Amino acid sequence: MCIRLIARSLASLVLCGVYVGTLVPVMVAFGHTSPPAITVLHGFTGKDGSGPVAPLVQATDGNFYGTTQIEGDDGAECATHACYGTVFKLTPQGDFAVLHTFSWPYADGTKPLSGLVVGPDGYLYGTTSEGGATGYGIVYRISTAGRFQKLHDFCSPAPCKDGESPHAGLALGRDGNFYGRTSWAGAGGTGTVFRISPSGDFATIFAFNTATGGAGFGGVVEASDGNFYGSNATTVFRVTPAGQGSVVHRFDPNDGVPTADLVQAADGNLYGLTSLVVYKLSLGGKYQRFHLLSPAAQGVAPNTLLQTKDARFWGSTGGTSAALAGGAVFSIDLDGTLLQSTFMSETPAGLGPNAPLIQARDGKIYGTTFGYGHAPDGQPVCCGTVFVVDPSGTAGGASPPVQTTPQPEQHAPPVIAPPEQPAPPVVAPPVQPALARVVQATDGLWFLVEESNAWILMPDPISDEDLASITLGDALHGELTVAQPGPARVIRSSDGTLYVVQGRHGSAIEPDQISDADLALLGRSGELDGAIPAEVLRTAAPE
Contact status, residue 204 vs residue 192, Cβ threshold 8 Å: yes
Please count the CA atoms within 13 angstroms of the CA of 240 that sit on its side-chain side.
5
Phi, psi of 253 (to 5 degrees): -55, -30
Say what the pLDDT of residue 136 is: 93
Helix (H, G, I), strand (E, B) or coil at 502: strand
How many beta carbons lie within 10 A of that of residue 403, not counting itself?
Answer: 10
Say what the pLDDT of residue 513 is: 64
The per-residue pLDDT for range 416-454, each reduced to its tens digit, is 333 444 444 433 333 333 456 676 665 556 666 665 556
Q: CA–CA separation, 282 vs 531, rounded Å?
A: 36
Please count the CA atoms within 13 angstroms of the CA of 531 that sit on its side-chain side.
12
Contact status, residue 237 vs residue 247, Cβ threshold 8 Å: yes
Contact status, residue 236 vs residue 247, Cβ threshold 8 Å: yes
The per-residue pLDDT for range 208-259, each reduced to its tens digit, is 988 887 778 899 999 999 999 999 988 999 999 999 999 999 999 888 889 8
Say what the pLDDT of residue 156 is: 81
Q: CA–CA separation, 446 vs 441, rounded Å?
A: 6
Q: CA–CA separation, 339 vs 251, rounded Å?
A: 26
Say what the pLDDT of residue 54 is: 96
DSSP code per residue over 357-398: -EE-TTS-EEEE-SBB-B-TTS-B-SB-EEEEEETTS--S--
Say what the pLDDT of residue 211 is: 82
Q: CA–CA separation, 290 vs 405, rounded Å?
A: 9
Say what the pLDDT of residue 447 is: 66
Say what the pLDDT of residue 36 is: 78
Say what the pLDDT of residue 488 is: 61
Say what the pLDDT of residue 332 is: 95
Say what the pLDDT of residue 101 is: 97
What parts of the chain have a pLDDT lower than 70? 1-35, 320-325, 393-437, 439-466, 469, 471-489, 492, 494-496, 501-505, 510-543
**For the chain, which residues make up each domain, given as ranges?**
434-519
Say what the pLDDT of residue 90 is: 98
